[in-house]
Amino acid sequence: MSEPLVIIGNGMAAARLVEELAKRALGRYAIAVIGDEPRLAYNRVLLSSVLAGEATSQEIELRSAAWWRDRGVTVTYGCAADAVDLAARHVHLASGLTVPFSKLVFATGSIPLRLAVPGSDLPGVHTFRDSCDVDQLLALGKAKNRVVVIGGGLLGLEAAYGLAKAGAKVTLLHLMESLMERQLDAPAAVLLKRLVEDKGIEILLGANTRQIVGDGKVGGVELADGRVIAADAVVFAAGIRPNVMLAKEAGVPVNRGIVVDDQICTSVENVFALGECAEHRGTCYGLVEPAYEQAKVLATHLAGSATEYSGSIVATNLKVSGVSVFSAGDFLAAEGETLVFNDERRGTYKKLVITDDRLTGAVLVGDTTDALWYLDLIRTAVPIEAIRGDMMFGRDLTQLKAA
């Protein structure tokens, strides 16, 4: 008989794990996937495209119901897991049902942060994290509301862009002095700010939110310097934190995330965690690519083969507010030297960091055509002396001159 394997979470990490298991251990496990969102797994990265009207909710679905069924997977969605009984090896659902397991995987993802400021519980204060959030934000855009988005990282910029395209008048507030400070250096952030403002989004940097003001509903956002930004709605998009409560209550060791080793195992036998809820060697990645890498390692381990996950090179390669952005590796260049190309008129910025004849970091804004090539050079750490003079101008030119 197939061994019962339960995955709590029906997001991108869970879908990739099932895909990898189907390649390596088809039929070995009777897989049950449990998700609290009322739909099949979808590409969360593309939620902003749905908000912006560039894709439909159906188009971002990762796999059809038939795909899951053909792989023998039972999917329960729209029903949260309430508790895990490790002694009895059962997952208790909000519906009252229990699901037995031999092996258990936490793929519970992250939850959005809400600033602990007065007024954060007023009607009209939203988050931007799942498809239900998108439905609410679409209504704000169609009503031409004034919306303040709090957070100038990836989530905030995506929310602002989508809302603006949907029809809202958007002001974005960011506590720091530059946008996406974790993914971009200062010149890249300056260029991104200009390109986003060109799309009709007002951006205020160094903006510290004191409170959400309003009488029974949102009326605006008051900043620490006394300014009040008028608003009909507020969107918190200032970050995420690992969703670990279910694991913690079950007795699985948790720091910031659910602690896993190089096989993606927790310290509890036959219990695993991957994706945004997992913490590996002190790091919670909060990105899709590391989750996919972890899924491959875990599927290999569950198939009975030796494997290790040594961590991921953090990379961002997305359209942010309609602007192509890429960063990877040590792009701040604490050590090494930098090559920079900056064409402000065309909205293009490139920075490459070289250490010991290896590419160790890169930042691209505007033109990200060669992003995956640069990422491969960083990951493989191959010597680049032979292409050093040409690599700034892209893979095609570099290979043409080498030929």
Tokens at residue 190, please? 């300056």
More confident residue, 186 or 320: 186
Report pLDDT digits (tens) over 2-14.
999 999 999 999 9
Fold of 113-239: FAD/NAD(P)-binding domain (3.50.50)
Whether residue 336 is predicted with pLDDT greater than 80 in this model: the reply is: no
**What pLDDT does residue 344 have?**
87
- Residue 389 is predicted with a pLDDT of 86
Burial of 187 from C-beta contacts in 10 A (0-12 / 13-18 / 19+): middle
- Which residues does 396 contact at the CB level (< 8 Å), separation at least 6? none
Structure confidence at residue 319 (pLDDT): 82
The pair of structure tokens assigned to 202 is 């007002």
Say which residues have a Cβ less than 8 Å from residue 227's Cβ, sequence separation at least 6.
Answer: none
Structure tokens at 352: 């490459």
The tokens for 338 are 């930098």
Q: How many CB atoms lie within 10 A of CB 102?
A: 13
pLDDT, residue 330, reads 87
Helix (H) or strand (E) holding 377: helix 371-380
**Model pLDDT, residue 403:** 57
CA 400 to chain centroid, in Å, comes to 36
Identity of the amino acid at 33:
V
Look at residue 93 and tell me whether its pLDDT is greater than 80: yes
The pLDDT tens digits for 365-379 are 999 999 999 999 999
The Cα 140–Cα 312 span in angstroms is: 37
pLDDT in tens, 264-315: 999 999 999 999 999 999 999 998 999 999 999 999 999 999 999 999 988 8
Average pLDDT estimate for 168-191: 94
CA 265 to chain centre: 22
Say which range, 93-97, 180-184, 319-323, 366-370, has the weakest mean pLDDT.
319-323
Q: So what's the pLDDT on residue 381?
A: 93
Domain spans of the chain, in order of start: 3-109+243-303, 113-239, 322-401
The whole model's pTM is what? 0.92
Domains 3-109+243-303 and 113-239 share a fold: yes
Using alpha carbons, list the distances in angstroms from residue 275 to 102, 371, 388.
21, 23, 35
> What pLDDT does 318 receive?
82
What would the CATH number be for the domain defined by 3-109+243-303?
A: 3.50.50.60
H or E element at residue 251: none
> Taking 80 as the threshold, does the pLDDT of residue 402 lie above it?
no
- Geometric angle at alpha carbon 9, from 6 and 10, rounded to 5°: 105
Please give the share of the chain, as a percent, with pLDDT higher than 90. 83
CATH topology of domain 322-401: Enolase-like; domain 1 (3.30.390)
244 contact partners, CB below 8 Å, separation of at least 6: 108, 254, 256, 257, 258, 277
* Beta-bridge partner residues of 3: 29
Q: What is the mean pLDDT of residues 344-348?
A: 91
In this predicted model, what pLDDT tens digit does every residue of 275-286 receive, in sequence order?
Answer: 999 999 999 999
* Sign for the pseudo-dihedral over CA of 14, 19, 22, 24: negative
- pLDDT for 197-225, tens place per residue? 999 999 999 999 999 999 989 999 999 99
pLDDT of res. 400? 64
Q: Residue 209 and residue 200: Cα distance in Å, rounded?
A: 22
Calculate the average pLDDT of the chain.
Answer: 93
Structure confidence by residue, pLDDT tens digits, 38-89:
999 999 989 989 998 999 999 999 999 999 999 999 999 999 999 999 999 9
Q: Inform me whether the pLDDT recorded for 108 exceeds 70.
A: yes
